[in-house]
């Protein structure tokens, strides 16, 4: 299978489109009322210009391409001290805007290819992917631990390799192996059962989506896993009747929808299959009248937009041939795939919910700090950054925070506990399950 994953050298012209104006360092909203606030977690924590948004990272890319910069521990460290959250990309209005996260990841791919990346703590992920096909060093049998309550209730989760089903629930590694995050697939499966949906999982046969490997620059590990998954998805469609793949994980969704599409066989392998985040899936059922939320959840909540389910899914319109502006010009963007309004609409439909927005939301959302391998490589910083988001949530007067990403779920809850806050992060599916009555 051939992949169109660009090298840093292929961005030679793109990196010079940055004028170092610094717009990328702040989130702007022209109101009313107008405000600006920090958008780059690395810039907030480390201060030095080289850590600040795309301005600093693009300078490193130029140095590596020109040969003026050589790999050393400090440079590698700087490249991996980035959540690749896309906050800087959201602010930039120059012609390299559509390519910023890809350039940063291309630097990481070069670091791995040159034998200097990723960071020591992150290498455990690569080893675990090789040995266990997941980043948590967990045996395959553990993938089923979250299903035990359903088995005890006499409602075992279907193994889709043994029993056909039109819906594959792709659990994701974090929901399966990270004990606090098992609440998310449990809520999802409970909702499916209440709605009487015919679904199944891959159980012990599920593999990592490969998102973590891609973010760290380990392109070989990513391609191996992605190709295996694409082959499995096609087999499930052809032999088990799978038409829809639903996932609760923002990282898995972004990887399968966006990263996998870099394969030349993607269209053929995914023909007849829809990949969707559970938020979109449930929103479709809500708008068609199949999802009716009637139980009251009398909470004051605020909503956190995850990077991978939000601005990472933005589509950028580029004038490739110069017919509109000039060749390579950034023209506009399309954010219809970004899950901004739909989770909020579902939240507001829950009886008793009082939604209170933070200042930085949607495309201006402040990253929880856990993405891009930071939670593994720099855990203390990840939690410190998450505490800033928790504090921003507390300023709204909300009791709890809601999101749609297990990484955000874990990192923000750890940070909240760390600062002694009573605010808890809930996944949207947990609240929907509370509000959805049992099937009569």
pLDDT digits (tens, 9 = 90+) for 284-331: 999 999 999 999 999 999 999 999 999 999 999 999 999 999 999 999
At 46, list the tokens. Answer: 């480390």
Q: Indicate whether 207 pLDDT > 90.
A: yes
Q: 204: which DSSP letter?
A: G
Backbone angles phi, psi at 435, to 5 degrees: -85, -15
Q: Which residue has the tokens 């392998």?
A: 269
Weakest-pLDDT range from 31-35, 161-165, 185-189: 31-35
Q: Indicate whether 114 pLDDT > 80.
A: yes
Q: Which residue has the tokens 């191996």?
A: 224
Those residues whose C-beta lies under 8 Å from the C-beta of residue 64, and which sit 6 or more positions away, are 8, 107, 110
Q: Could you tell me which of 238, 258, 239 has the C-alpha nearest to residue 250?
A: 258
Structural element, H or E, at residue 394 = helix 379-394
Q: What is the pLDDT of residue 31?
A: 78
Euclidean distance between CA atoms 124 and 263, whole angstroms: 26
Q: Could you tell me which of 393, 366, 411, 402 has the C-alpha nearest to residue 27?
A: 366
Backbone angles phi, psi at 303, to 5 degrees: -115, 130
% of the chain with per-residue pLDDT over 70:
100
Residue 262, SS3 per DSSP: helix
Q: What is the pLDDT of residue 50?
A: 74
Residue 115, SS3 per DSSP: coil
Q: Are strands 329-334 and 354-355 parallel, antiparallel or unpaired?
A: unpaired
Q: What is the pLDDT of residue 149?
A: 96
What would the mean pLDDT of 127-155 be, rounded to a whole number? 94
Distances (CA, A) of 120 to 105, 114, 328: 17, 15, 38
Distances (CA, A) of 396 to 110, 419, 421: 43, 17, 14
For residues 425 and 416, is the Cβ–Cβ distance under 8 A? yes
How many Cβ atoms sit within 10 Å of the Cβ of residue 131? 9
Distances (CA, A) of 233 to 100, 262, 280: 30, 16, 20
Those residues whose C-beta lies under 8 Å from the C-beta of residue 51, and which sit 6 or more positions away, are 40, 42, 43, 45, 78, 81, 82
For residues 38 and 25, is the Cβ–Cβ distance under 8 A? yes
For residues 89 and 97, is the Cβ–Cβ distance under 8 A? yes
CA angle (330 as vertex; 31, 311 as ends), nearest 5 = 55
Give me the chain's average pLDDT, please: 95
- Chain centre distance of CA 107: 20
Q: What is the pLDDT of residue 55?
A: 87
Q: Indicate whether 67 pLDDT > 90.
A: yes
Q: What is the pLDDT of residue 29?
A: 81
DSSP secondary structure string for all residues of 38-72: E--HHHHHH-SGGGSHHHHHHHHHHHHHHTS----
Q: What is the pLDDT of residue 32?
A: 81
Q: What is the pLDDT of residue 33?
A: 83
- Chain centre distance of CA 272: 24
Q: Grade residue 54 by pLDDT with cuts at 50, 70 and 90.
A: confident
CATH topology of domain 120-287: Rossmann fold (3.40.50)
Euclidean distance between CA atoms 256 and 214, whole angstroms: 12
CATH architecture of 1-117: Orthogonal Bundle (1.10)
Q: Could you tell me which of 80, 107, 97, 79 has the C-alpha nearest to residue 8?
A: 107
Distances (CA, A) of 129 to 62, 110, 115, 407: 31, 20, 18, 18
Weakest-pLDDT range from 24-28, 175-179, 207-211, 332-336: 24-28
Q: What is the pLDDT of residue 288?
A: 97
Q: Indicate whether 28 pLDDT > 90.
A: no
Domain residue spans of the chain: 1-117, 120-287
Q: Grade residue 51 by pLDDT with cuts at 50, 70 and 90.
A: confident
Q: Grade residue 417 by pLDDT with cuts at 50, 70 and 90.
A: very high
Q: Indicate whether 440 pLDDT > 60.
A: no
The pTM for the full model equals: 0.96
Weakest-pLDDT range from 107-116, 119-128, 406-415, 419-428: 119-128
């Amino acid at each position: 299978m051939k992949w169109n994953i660009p090298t840093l050298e292929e961005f030679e012209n793109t990196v010079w489109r940055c004028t170092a104006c610094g717009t990328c360092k702040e989130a702007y909203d022209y109101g009313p009322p107008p405000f600006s606030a920090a958008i780059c977690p690395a810039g907030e924590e480390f201060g030095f210009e080289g850590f600040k948004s795309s301005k600093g990272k693009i300078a490193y890319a130029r140095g590596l391409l020109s040969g003026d910069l050589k790999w050393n521990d400090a440079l590698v460290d700087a490249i991996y001290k980035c959540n690749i959250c896309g906050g800087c990309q959201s602010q930039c209005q120059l012609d390299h805007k559509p390519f910023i996260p890809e350039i940063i990841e291309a630097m990481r791919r070069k670091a791995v290819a040159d034998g200097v990346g990723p960071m020591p703590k992150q290498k455990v992920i690569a080893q675990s992917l090789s040995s266990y096909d997941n980043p948590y060093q967990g045996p395959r049998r553990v993938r089923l631990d979250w299903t035990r309550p359903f088995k005890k209730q006499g409602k075992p989760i279907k193994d889709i390799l043994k029993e056909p089903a039109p819906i594959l629930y792709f659990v994701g590694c974090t929901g399966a192996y990270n004990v606090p995050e098992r609440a998310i697939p449990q809520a999802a499966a409970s909702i499916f059962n209440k709605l009487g949906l015919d679904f199944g999982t891959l159980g012990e046969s599920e593999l990592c989506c490969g998102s973590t490997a891609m973010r760290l620059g380990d392109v070989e590990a990513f391609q191996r896993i992605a190709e295996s998954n694409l082959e499995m998805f096609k087999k499930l469609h052809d032999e088990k009747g799978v038409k829809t793949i639903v996932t609760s994980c923002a990282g898995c969704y972004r990887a399968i929808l966006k990263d996998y599409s870099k394969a030349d066989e993607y269209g053929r392998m995914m023909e007849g299959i829809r990949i969707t985040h559970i938020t979109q899936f449930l929103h479709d059922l809500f708008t068609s009248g199949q999802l009716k939320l009637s139980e009251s959840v009398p909470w004051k909540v605020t909503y956190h937009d995850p990077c991978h389910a939000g601005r990472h899914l933005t589509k950028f319109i580029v004038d490739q041939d110069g017919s509109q502006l000039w060749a390579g010009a950034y023209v506009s963007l399309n954010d219809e795939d970004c899950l901004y309004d739909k989770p909020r609409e579902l939240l507001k439909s829950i009886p008793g919910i009082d939604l209170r927005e933070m200042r930085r939301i949607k495309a201006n959302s402040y990253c929880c700090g856990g993405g891009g391998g930071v939670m593994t490589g720099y855990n203390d910083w990840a939690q410190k950054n998450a505490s800033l988001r928790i504090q921003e949530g507390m300023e709204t007067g909300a009791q709890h925070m809601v999101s749609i990403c297990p990484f955000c779920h874990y990192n923000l809850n750890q940070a909240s506990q760390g600062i002694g806050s009573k605010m808890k992060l809930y996944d949207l599916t947990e609240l929907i399950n509370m509000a959805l009555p049992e099937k009569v």
